[in-house]
Amino acid sequence: MASWSFIVGHHRNISKKSYSLGRCPRAWYNSAFKYIQRCSTFSDVQGVVPIAGMIDANTVQPDPDVSLPKSPEKSARVGTQAKKTGTKSKKVQNPAVRQIVFDSNEDRFPVAEQAMADPEVLDLLIESLSGSERRLRQFSAAAVAVVAASQPALLERYIPQIADALHRPEAQTRWEILEALTRIVALNPAVMDDNMEGVEASLYDEESGTARLGAVRFLTAYGALDGERSSRVWPLIDEAIQCYHGDAEFQDMLIAIIGYANGEIAKGVRKKLADRMRFDAQRSKGPLKRRAQQIVEICEA
């Protein structure tokens, strides 16, 4: 009996099976016939017609009227590539769609360099502190901290906007901003006189020791400027000494307090600070004792 060959397809896997016409089950017969009807080469088949040879799937030509979907192309970004290799920060040429693009936190250094060289980039960096994207706020705050460490005078006119970023929910934005403010507060301390709420909130952050440390550093730098400000922040510093005495960040807090003691603090504050640190100076051991003794000596000098 003549041999019939059909291609039996299942999803994407196609196998070839040959059956004798006399022994071909009805199910296979119907399935093969329906498959032939679906093929464009045999779309006009109305009945069972003997087909000599074998239907090779490789010989079936695609329908010219059917176009396969093309993979979407990546949209090009309009901007100016940063000069340093590896940075993704760009200044968008379209002023209506300005943005900062970054891949990692290391990009804060080249972006900060651009901001120090281009006032428009610096403006954009400050604006990003109040943006809706958390990661962009964090990155922008880190870049602002780099600018503050290198050229703090550039940020003096932005102190109110920078201080406003202390009200962001994420801790990293706040501790980066506190670092920047610590470096620039001496340029215009009056601006911070009425912007201490965010600093206090970070001082009592229950989840981030780094934010608490940043708040202590700022308070000591602010308070060291003159007697009036030292008296204003002393209750907060005193409470931090008592509350965070056993924290991992406490040693770094003491270093900031040493700077506070060396500042222009009021006499009454100087005495209170010496009394607060006297116990550790006499009873503690190691670095804690040495730093406590240093604070007491400075205050009593």
Q: What per-residue confidence (pLDDT) applies to 88?
A: 45
Band of pLDDT at residue 209, cut at 50, 70 and 90: very high
Question: Vertex 295, ends 280 and 145: CA angle to 5°?
Answer: 110
Bridge partners, residue 18, by sequence: 5
Give the number of other CB atoms < 10 A from CB of residue 67. Answer: 8
Average pLDDT over residues 147-176: 96
Residue type, position 260, single letter = Y
pLDDT at 50 over 90: no
**Which carries the bigger pLDDT value, residue 30 or residue 130?**
130
User: For 67-90, what is each residue's pLDDT tens digit?
Assistant: 434 433 332 222 343 334 344 444
Q: State pLDDT tens for residues 181-197.
A: 999 999 999 999 988 99
- What's 42's DSSP letter? G
Check residue 49 and give its pLDDT: 42
Residue 11 or residue 125, greater confidence: 125
Determine which helix (DSSP H) or strand (DSSP E) holds 201, and give its type and residue range.
helix 197-203
Does the domain made of 86-195 have the CATH classification 2.40.30.20? no
284: exposed, middle or buried (Cβ count in 10 Å: 0-12, 13-18, 19+): middle
Instruction: Identify whether the C-beta of residue 210 lies closer than 8 Å to the C-beta of residue 249.
Output: yes
The residue extents of the domains of the chain are: 3-59, 86-195, 207-301
Query: Strand, coil or helix: what is 16?
Result: strand
The Cα-based distances of 159 to 180, 221, 283 in angstroms read: 9, 15, 42
Task: Give CA–CA dist 251/264, Å, rounded.
Answer: 22
267 contacts 279 by C-beta, under 8 angstroms: no
